[in-house]
A and B are shown apart, each in its own frame.
Chain A
Amino acid sequence: MRQSGEGQSAGPIRFDLLVRALVRKAGVPPSEVGALTFRQALNILDDSDPSDPHAGGRVLSSPYELYDVFDHLGWSQ
């Protein structure tokens, strides 16, 4: 998990949005969200790889990329 403020500034990671997206968009049972790492959560949400029918494949690692995922999912604020 990259420190926000390093490189591109994305502000604090919005874990509330992350959890919401995991449950509502990715269908992760709420009881299982806590067992995921940040990296695994981003990997589940990432659907940027058109060759991957299961919407995974590229591991994201920064808050900045998290917001790209949210944009793609239509979860931008």
Chain B
Amino acid sequence: MDLAQTLNLPVEIPIGGKTLRFSEFTLQELAQLQAWIKSHVVHPLDAIKGHLDGFSPEDRDRVIAQARAEARDWPPSPGSRAFSETLFSRPDGLRFAMSLALAKHQPTATDRDVKWLLKAMNRDEATTKRIVGVLFGNDEPDDDESEDGEALDPKG
């Protein structure tokens, strides 16, 4: 039993020459992410309105059926593939999620820090996977921690 993990203590993760602290999202934070989706992403049924002209009847039925299926679980539930895809397929969704994650243990972090982090994540897929794993409770041991860094400097 990993007591630190059970108590959701922050994990230090080096990225881009800095060391940042992250921990698993709480239910309240997951709710904030879901609320973001609800307020920023068009409802699946609204998304197809006005876009069905020119479809064959079969394709039209298929698109409507898919939208209805997505609408049954709208906004998508945290932990579902639809939730992750909806949130992370949009740059503003990813930015919101990482802003929430970063501010939790780096309370002085600014929008500039969030932009810096997103750029660093874009250059480091392995560390990005680790960060996302920690945030969503899928973290697994990772031996690839060769890069030592400094604590986040909000002005840096």
Which residues of chain B are within 8 angstroms of A38 by Cβ–Cβ distance?
A: 24, 27, 30, 78-79, 137
How distant is the Cα of A63 from the Cα of B78 in the complex, in angstroms? 11
A59 touches B26 (CB 8 A): no
How distant is the Cα of A40 from the Cα of B3 in the complex, in angstroms? 11
Considering residues A14, A18, A34, which has the most beta carbons from chain B within 10 angstroms of its beta carbon? A34
How distant is the Cα of A2 from the Cα of B140 in the complex, in angstroms? 12
**What bracket does the count of chain A residues touching chain B fall in?**
20 to 34
Which residue on chain A has the smallest CB distance to residue B24?
A37
Considering residues B5, B77, B84, which has the most beta carbons from chain A within 10 angstroms of its beta carbon? B77
Which residues of chain B are within 8 angstroms of A39 by Cβ–Cβ distance?
A: 5-6, 8, 24, 137
Q: Would you call the interface of chain A mostly helix, strand, loop, or mixed?
A: loop
Which residue on chain A has the smallest CB distance to residue B34?
A15
How distant is the Cα of A39 from the Cα of B5 in the complex, in angstroms? 9
Q: Restricting to B1-50, which residues have a CB under 8 Å from any CB of A?
A: 1, 5-6, 8, 23-28, 30-31
How distant is the Cα of A49 from the Cα of B25 in the complex, in angstroms? 26
**A69 within 8 A of partner (CB):** no
Which residue on chain B has the smallest CB distance to residue A56?
B6
**A13 within 8 A of partner (CB):** yes
| Number of A-B pairs, beta carbon distance below 8 Å | 70
**What bracket does the count of chain B residues touching chain A fall in?**
20 to 34
B27 touches A34 (CB 8 A): yes
Which residues of chain B are within 8 angstroms of A18 by Cβ–Cβ distance?
A: 27
Known contacts A15-B27, A36-B26; is-contact A1 B78 (Cβ 8 Å): yes
How distant is the Cα of A7 from the Cα of B25 in the complex, in angstroms? 23
**A53 within 8 A of partner (CB):** no
Which residues of chain B are within 8 angstroms of A59 by Cβ–Cβ distance?
A: 1, 6
Interface residues, chain A, with chain B CB atoms under 8 Å away: 1-5, 12-15, 18-19, 33-41, 43, 57, 59, 61, 63
Q: A1-B136, A1-B138, A34-B31 are in contact. List 6 more A-B contacts (CB 8 A).
A: A1-B78, A5-B81, A15-B78, A34-B27, A37-B137, A38-B30
